[in-house]
């Protein structure tokens, strides 16, 4: 196992764009590599993705492995898992992080099974213990408990990490590193699934909850879909994304891309508004790391208040318009 | 009767797409504790799930329903399979009551404490002995939410996989599936030749509730119980011994501390205080 060296990050791209979680994970990998005295290696697999390599070095990578080929234009389990497994077998890293995205969570277990590796999905915390093992921390049972796991016998120690848990560091443009093109022997014949079409369901002009600095999220308390105009107005003032808890997304009032919580998105905004949300543990799992958490709810006993930096017990239809007026006043003064 | 005739003899290697209207569908399921009831054992750092009510994993309901719908449309057989302790037979009965045709219960004290890898190993060992066109799993289990067994099983069986399926149909040629796979900003339409492994997610269907007739019939449906020795697996490969991921600690989540809470304050005044608070913090 001692021959395994290097903290690797699989840097996911989608339609040639780099996912933000890659930057979060390279930042985290840097801290581990420094403690272990190893290199950070970023792995890029895709088509037309070499241009991201330099940015990954600025972010903290010592080396970037680029597997750039037309066969990787769309994500497919077969092509990507073979490419990544081949690299791991050949170069033997000690740790491998992937983002716990839809495709990351499809890819990681396939690679783990190819190489017979332990794997922990969707980690929200990572540490090194005194044996220099990677401690993988994640919630279980809908967030009721936290669990620490290790993979003592297999290398690399492999995890997928939830996006928006770690903040990316500021890139350092003076950093240097190696960029290596890796040839692939994978061909179209290796791919057993065919992607006939990719359909986007994001609503035009709607800000994504994933990356917004401010998120205004509504729950059952909003009562009618027409009433969403109110959070939308607040969101517009603050350049915020409009989110929803599971019940209102299930009702179709907002698209699934805007759902915050365990079965939706985990977000890490600077400011979070929970409007008419009771605060089920599944919802809090997706938003409780917000820097500033505001809750407005009629029910004084709603668990959401236990999480809020600032809570107001009252009717959102009376309070939110008043908040909008106050914000307008402040903005006019600036 | 029909079912018994068509059950394949054990030992026959799977595999090729049969391309006929009669489909064999394997649905691996899991019994899970109801999350709301789970407690951490005091001072023991272990999870206490004793006495917690157990249910059939909600994502598996989509898988069972999808298999039954295909059978109803195309003809075929739905085989429910689980690896779990003896009491997991309740989950099997539920899936049979919904409309599964027969079940295989992989149970042995040596399977206890498994991680996703040592679960997939056991399922794969059994499935290798069977004939099938489709394997449909739930996307993830509600207890651990790892979502790894499906893909690991697909790899062990050398099958293509499509995870997070919310729409499923059989292509006109009867040999391919056409699915909608959930992505982060919508879905992609993915086609694959059978045999293939799918994981089912929300939106695929509305799982039926078993009716009284179904529940009565379920108890009479064929149920095979298979242990490690019969599978030909030794104790180092399965359960906790075969697990590659080990739990070292369980602890309660850190609670965020509540801050200011205004009650019985006029909306205007409350709004004013909130906005002052946010401005002072630099949040707006």
Could you give the domains of chain B? 2-242 (3.40.50.620)
Task: State yes or no: pLDDT of B40 exceeds 80.
Answer: no
> What are the distances in angstroms from CA A22 to CA A101, A165, A330?
11, 12, 37
Please report the pLDDT score of residue B5 as a whole number.
Answer: 37
Number of H helices, E strands in chain A: 8, 18
pLDDT of residue B41: 66
What does pLDDT average to over chain B?
90
Cβ contacts (< 8 Å) between A154 and chain B: which residues?
244
Of A202-211, A223-232, B160-169, the poorest mean pLDDT is in A202-211
Q: How confident is the model at residue B46 (pLDDT cuts 50, 70, 90)?
A: low
pLDDT tens column, A298-319:
999 999 999 999 999 999 999 9
Closest by CA to B101, choosing from B18, B10, B178, B2, is B2
Distance from CA of A214 to the nearest CA of B (A): 9
| Confidence check on the interface: ipTM exceeds 0.90, yes or no | no
Check pLDDT > 70 for residue B15.
Answer: no
Which CATH homologous superfamily contains domain A214-333?
Answer: TPP-binding domain (3.40.50.1220)
- Give CATH 3.40.50.620 domain extents, chain A: 7-190
Q: What is the pLDDT of residues A123-134, one digit of tens each?
A: 999 999 999 999
- The confidence score (pLDDT) of residue B11 equals 37
Q: For strands B76-83 and B23-29, give the pairing.
A: parallel
What mean pLDDT is predicted for residues A89-102?
A: 97
Give the whole-angstrom CA distance, residue B271 versus residue B273.
5
**Residue position matching structure tokens 């399965």:** B238
| Residue A159 clears pLDDT 60, i.e. is over it | yes
Q: With contact defined as beta carbons under 8 Å apart, do A283 and A246 qualify?
A: yes
Chain A residues 221-280 within an 8 A CB cutoff of chain B: 238, 257, 262-263, 270-271
* Average pLDDT in chain A: 95
**B250–A147: do the CB atoms touch at under 8 Å?**
yes
**pLDDT score for A334:** 83
Structure tokens at B256: 């965020």
Confidence of residue B205 (pLDDT cuts 50, 70, 90): very high
For residue A326, give the nearest of B116, B260, B271 by CB distance: B271
CATH number of A7-190: 3.40.50.620
Residue A13, min C-alpha distance to chain B (Å): 13
Phi and psi at residue B140, to the nearest 5°: -160, 165
Read off the pLDDT of each residue in A218-229 and give the average, rounded to a whole number: 96
Average pLDDT over residues B119-135: 98
- The reported pLDDT for the residue numbered B1 is 32
Task: Give the tokens for residue B102.
Answer: 């027969």
Closest in A109, A214, A238 to B148, CB measured: A109
In chain A, the percentage of residues whose pLDDT exceeds 70 is 100
Average pLDDT of the segment spanning A84-111: 98
- The pLDDT tens digits of the residues spanning B230-262 come to 999 999 999 999 999 999 999 988 777 779 999
* Start and end residues for every CATH 3.40.50.1220 domain found in chain A: 214-333
């Amino acid at each position: 196992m001692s021959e395994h060296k290097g903290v690797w990050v699989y840097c996911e791209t989608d339609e040639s764009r780099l996912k933000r979680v890659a930057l979060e994970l390279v930042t985290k990998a840097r801290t581990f590599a420094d403690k272990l005295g190893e290199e950070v290696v970023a792995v890029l697999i895709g088509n037309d993705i070499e241009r991201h390599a330099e940015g990954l070095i600025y972010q903290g990578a010592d080396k970037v492995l680029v597997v750039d080929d037309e066969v990787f234009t769309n994500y497919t389990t077969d092509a990507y898992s073979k490419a990544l497994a081949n690299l791991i077998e050949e170069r033997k890293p000690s740790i491998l992080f992937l983002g716990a995205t839809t495709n990351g969570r499809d890819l990681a277990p396939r690679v783990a099974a190819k190489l017979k590796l332990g794997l922990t999905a969707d980690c929200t915390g990572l540490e090194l213990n005194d044996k220099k093992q990677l401690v993988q921390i994640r919630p279980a049972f809908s967030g009721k408990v936290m669990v620490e796991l290790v993979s003592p016998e297999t290398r690399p120690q492999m995890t997928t990490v939830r996006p928006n848990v770690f903040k990316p560091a500021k890139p350092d443009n003076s950093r240097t590193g190696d960029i290596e093109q890796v040839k692939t022997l994978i061909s179209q014949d290796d791919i057993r699934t065919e992607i006939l079409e990719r359909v986007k369901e994001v609503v035009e002009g709607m800000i994504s909850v994933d990356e917004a600095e401010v998120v205004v999220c509504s729950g059952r308390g909003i009562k009618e879909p027409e009433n969403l105009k109110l959070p939308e107005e607040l969101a517009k003032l603050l350049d915020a994304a409009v989110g929803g808890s599971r019940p209102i997304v299930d009702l179709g009032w907002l698209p699934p891309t805007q759902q915050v919580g365990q079965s939706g998105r985990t977000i890490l905004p600077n400011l979070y508004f929970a409007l008419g949300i009771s605060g089920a543990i599944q919802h809090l799992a997706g938003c409780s790391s917000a820097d500033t958490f505001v809750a407005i709810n009629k029910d004084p006993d709603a668990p959401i208040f236990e999480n809020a930096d600032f809570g107001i017990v009252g009717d959102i239809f009376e309070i939110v318009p008043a908040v909008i007026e106050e914000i307008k006043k402040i903005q006019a003064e600036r | 009767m029909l079912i018994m005739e068509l059950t394949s003899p054990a030992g026959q290697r799977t595999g090729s797409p049969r391309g006929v209207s009669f489909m064999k569908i394997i649905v691996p399921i899991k019994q899970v504790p109801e999350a709301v009831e789970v407690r951490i054992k005091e001072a023991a750092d272990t999870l206490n799930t004793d006495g917690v009510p157990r249910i059939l994993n909600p994502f598996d309901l989509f898988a069972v329903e999808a298999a039954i719908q295909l059978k109803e449309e195309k003809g075929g057989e739905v085989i429910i399979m689980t690896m779990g302790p003896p009491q997991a037979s309740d989950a099997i009965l539920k899936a049979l009551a919904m409309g599964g045709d027969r079940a295989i219960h992989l149970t042995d004290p040596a399977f206890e404490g498994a991680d996703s890898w040592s679960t997939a190993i056991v399922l794969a060992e059994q499935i290798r002995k069977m004939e099938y066109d489709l394997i449909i799993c739930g996307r993830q289990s509600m207890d651990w939410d790892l979502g790894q067994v499906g893909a690991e099983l697909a790899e062990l069986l050398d099958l293509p996989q499509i995870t997070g399926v919310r729409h499923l149909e059989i292509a006109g040629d009867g040999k391919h599936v056409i699915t909608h796979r959930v992505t982060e900003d919508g879905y992609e339409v993915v086609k694959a030749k059978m045999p293939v492994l799918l994981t089912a997610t929300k939106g695929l269907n509305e799982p039926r509730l078993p009716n009284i007739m179904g529940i009565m019939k379920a108890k009479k449906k064929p149920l095979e119980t298979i242990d490690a020795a019969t599978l030909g697996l030794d104790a180092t490969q399965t359960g906790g011994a075969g697990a590659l991921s080990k739990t070292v600690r369980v602890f309660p989540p850190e609670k965020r501390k509540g801050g200011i809470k205004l009650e019985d304050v006029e909306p205007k005044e409350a709004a004013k205080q909130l906005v002052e608070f946010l401005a002072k913090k630099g949040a707006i």
